[in-house]
Structure 1
Amino acid sequence: MQNRLTAWGFLFPALVLLTIFVFGPIIYVAILSFTAGSFTPTGMYWVGWQNYARLLASPDFWQVLGNTLYFTVATVIPSLVIPLGLAVGLNQAMVGRTFLRTIYFLPSVASIVAAGLGFRWLFQPEGPVNALLQGVGIEPISWLGSPVWAMPVLILLSIWKQLGFNMIVFLAGLQTIPQSRYEAATLDGANAWQQFRYITLPGLGPTLVLAAITTTIFTLRSFEQVYVVTGGGPLNTTNLLVYFIYQQAFGMFDFGYAAAAATILLLATLGLVWLQLRTWQDQP
């Protein structure tokens, strides 16, 4: 009994902070999603499921949802595959490992606003990217003004930003795999691909789950890229769910509608995390 009280005593400050800054706001947003009116207790009134019905009937919302799904899938997969390959290569490197690890990690600590402005300069009509294309005989592309190419620019920026963090995570995971397993596999005649498939990947299982979950969460809450680089355009093709929530709440002052969209985003994020955990648990 004494140990239980001591444990709760240590947990109590953290639980208070979580309630005030995490659980409390989540509950408040969920309640707000069933209301309309001004953002004051006297101005709000209950509307039930009307905000959710408006969302489901809105073509703009479905377009934003599709944009978010496209952006998430196209960002998360390369953000796991590329850092994993880099981590395996760096883990076997004999010279320059620390220098290369630092270089690759720099984007993770760079300001996303500054990086966004840099990408906006790189992909402007007369920017360096189009200059390189013209140098090899390809016509310049209106990257940020094209409904086709604007989203890939945002995806490239997000992959670049996430690459170093995931690489460091995978490097840490590789250090936990006993070297004796690779030595035994080499003696048994296993080639590099077989060692990667049957030793490295299973050994990195928990690390892969962690990286997949954190990358998915970071991607779903992307806001700065859209705000700085494209502003949701052109033709709403780069508008992501978080930016859509921002527009509805602070552009249109429709807080109940924005809260409904935020609640859907929360449920979608929890569903994806649960699916990733379930997939890992079902692995033999």
Structure 2
Amino acid sequence: MQEARPFWTLARREALAGGLFVAPQLAGVLVFVLAPLALVFWYSLHEWNVLANTFEFTGAQNYQDLLQDATLPPVLAASAVFAAGLVVFNLSLALLLAVLLNQKLVGITAFRTLFFSPVVVSLVAWTIVWGFLLQANGGINGVLKLAGIEGPNWLRMPATAMASVIVVQVFKNVGLNMILLLAALQGVPRELYEAARIDGASAWRQFRRITLPMISPTILLTSVITVVGALQVFAQIAVLTQGGPGHSTTVLVYYLYQQTFQFHRFGYGSTLAIVLFAIVALLTLAQWQLRKRFVFHEQS
């Protein structure tokens, strides 16, 4: 008679151990991601008035209001301008700084620390200081006045308000992308550059044919992080411009805050949150799909 197999075989013990290891992460995703997302969708189907203590099911009414909201197009346009400006200037400056700080020079560590230090500064404190600098009688216009230039009120003019907010955010977080790109640059094999120099390749050709392809995975990572962060910006807008002048700097997250906590339209605010989630998910998915074309290690 064949002997019965024990229940706790090696394969089952390994499966149990693996499940226990991933259980905390899965619980975190369930509690802090999936459950809140489901609740937000549920709230978007209701009209919730906290002041009147009413919670009424309205079905797709909030989504119909979304399509008829005349303020939403300029809000989405402002969000797109901010995200595009932040991604272009942040990544370009971060890559430039990473290349410059990748040199073996005396005191280079101090410069790396200097450019990274704004990342660890409190966001609100950083924004408040820049708010004073960008006022009509602030420090930036004071410096321009010494050169005989009359500076504008940077945060109160539609032509300069958005650019000012973008610059503030670029200087705040460029150090993080710089460090990531610097680490990627230091991981590029030196032998590739030596072989390219022997073949007579110029510095620009080495950068374009060796450096960019080798650090392309990190460029993808930084672009995803920067895009998601750009679409979630709030504190800078709230402190510097409060969405003005007009709706020129009213990005989607700030508009969501206004509708939810200023106008007490919690159902409509939840609908805007669903829109924000969809935009972030689609852009992240699009960037992930583009990796097959632009990321060196993913190309077939």
Structure 2 residue matching 1:115: 3-state secondary structure? helix
Q: CA deviation at 1:39?
A: 5.0
Q: CA deviation at 1:45?
A: 2.2
Counterpart for residue 13 of structure 2:
2
Counterpart for residue 13 of structure 1:
24
Counterpart for residue 32 of structure 1:
43
Distance in 2 between residues matched to 1:187 and 1:96, nearest whole Å: 30
Q: CA deviation at 1:252?
A: 0.9
Structure 2 counterpart of 1:61, from 67, 72, 75: 72
Point out 4+ residue stretches in structure 1 off by more than 4 angstroms: none
One-letter amino acid matched to 1:185: A
Q: CA deviation at 1:49?
A: 1.9
Q: Contact (CA 8 Å) 1:56, 1:62: kept in 2 or not? A: no
Which residues of structure 2 form unaligned runs of 5+? 1-11
Counterpart for residue 157 of structure 2:
146
Q: Contact (CA 8 Å) 1:75, 1:155: kept in 2 or not? A: yes
Structure 1 residue matching 2:101: 3-state secondary structure? helix
> TM-score, length-normalised on structure 2?
0.91
Larger Rg: 2
1:209-232, Cα deviation, whole Å (9 max, x unpaired): 100000111111100001111111
Q: What are the within-5 Å matches in structure 2 for residues 157-172 of structure 1?
A: 157-172=168-183
Distance in 2 between residues matched to 1:201 and 1:46, nearest whole Å: 53
Larger CA deviation: 129-138 vs 74-83:
129-138
Q: What are the within-5 Å matches in structure 2 for residues 185-204 of structure 1?
A: 185-204=196-215
Which residues of structure 1 form unaligned runs of 5+? none
Counterpart for residue 269 of structure 1:
280
Larger CA deviation: 115-124 vs 131-140:
131-140
RMSD of equivalent CA atoms: 1.4
- What is the count of residue pairs matched by the alignment? 283
Larger CA deviation: 130-139 vs 262-271:
130-139
Distance in 2 between residues matched to 1:78 and 1:225, nearest whole Å: 17
Q: What are the within-5 Å matches in structure 2 for residues 219-238 of structure 1?
A: 219-238=230-249
Structure 1 residue matching 2:287: 3-state secondary structure? helix
Distance in 2 between residues matched to 1:201 and 1:82, nearest whole Å: 15
Q: CA deviation at 1:38?
A: 2.7
> TM-score, length-normalised on structure 1?
0.96
Q: CA deviation at 1:175?
A: 1.8
1:126-162, Cα deviation, whole Å (9 max, x unpaired): 1111122222222231111111111111000110111
Counterpart for residue 134 of structure 1:
145
Structure 2 counterpart of 1:244, from 238, 255, 266: 255
